């Protein structure tokens, strides 16, 4: 398939999932809506996952029978279920291995958009923190103060006046830590709207009462990387437009 084509190639896409980009080596960027899992945690989750297929935890891939053969699609990164946007997948295990190595080495450029309460000043910042993660009640929770290093470049795109001002931020994580962006925003009194873990709960309720969407307003908007495959370097870029619920104040 030529580069730039976005057909689903027979993949059983989950509800509301679409293909943003796909190259000739079978590397694809899928756009998932908020509420869908990057992969099922069990058979009961197939109806609310990125692909409507069985998932192999060890191989980190979806699999199903199609066209008289066993099909596999490898999951290359993950988003929290409450986050919308781009997730990368690959059909070829060699492509999957190459791209996973780039993620592990921090060589994938990622851009997120977040709608937050408050106005960031100054409008361009680099956030550097130590994040620790603990597990309780079957859930992971991160906190700033100690742990692994986390860094994000943040930029204010626009703000909307209100009793509690609201801003749209561009966030470029240079590390990939658990709940990194959510914790860093909350720790700077810029809680992401709809965050039920690190957010401002009373402001969330007020936002919904005013007609806002009841979701975490965090969106994986752009991804770009260069990977090697069969002795050649390949550039891959994808973008996912901002969901309509982010477009407030207009």
Instruction: Tell me the C-alpha distance between 167 and 249, whole Å.
Output: 10
Instruction: Tell me the C-alpha distance between 180 and 247, whole Å.
Output: 24
The residues annotated with a catalytic role in the active site are 80
Chain position carrying tokens 């996973």: 100
Nearest to 14 by CA among 103, 113, 3, 34: 34
The torsion angles phi and psi of 8, rounded to 5 degrees, stand at: -80, 0
- Cβ-in-10-Å burial (0-12, 13-18, 19+) of 67 comes to exposed
Measured between alpha carbons, how far is residue 1 from residues 24, 67, 150, 165, 174 in Å? 5, 17, 38, 47, 32
């Amino acid at each position: 398939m030529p580069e730039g084509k976005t057909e689903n190639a027979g993949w059983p896409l989950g509800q509301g999932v679409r293909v943003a980009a796909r190259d000739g080596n079978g590397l694809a960027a899928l756009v998932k809506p908020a509420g869908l899992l990057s992969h099922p945690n069990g058979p009961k989750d197939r109806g609310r996952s990125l692909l409507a297929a069985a998932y192999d935890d060890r191989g980190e891939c979806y699999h199903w029978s199609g066209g008289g053969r066993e099909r596999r699609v490898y999951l290359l990164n993950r988003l929290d279920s409450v986050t919308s946007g781009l997730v990368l997948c690959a059909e070829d295990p060699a492509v999957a291995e190459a791209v996973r190595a780039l993620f592990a080495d921090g060589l994938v450029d990622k851009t997120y958009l977040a709608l937050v309460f408050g106005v960031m000043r100054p409008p361009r910042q680099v956030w550097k923190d130590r994040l620790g993660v603990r597990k309780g009640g079957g859930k992971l929770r991160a906190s700033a103060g100690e742990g692994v290093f986390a860094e994000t470049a943040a930029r204010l795109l626009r703000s909307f006046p209100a009793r509690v001002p609201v801003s749209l931020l561009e966030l470029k994580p240079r590390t990939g830590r658990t709940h990194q962006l959510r914790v860093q925003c909350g720790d700077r009194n810029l809680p992401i709207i709809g965050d039920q873990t690190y957010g401002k709960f009373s402001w969330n309720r007020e936002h919904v009462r005013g007609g806002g969407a009841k979701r975490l307003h965090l969106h994986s908007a752009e991804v770009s990387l260069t990977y090697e495959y069969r002795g050649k370097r390949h550039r891959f870029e994808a973008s996912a437009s901002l969901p309509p619920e982010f477009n407030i104040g207009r």
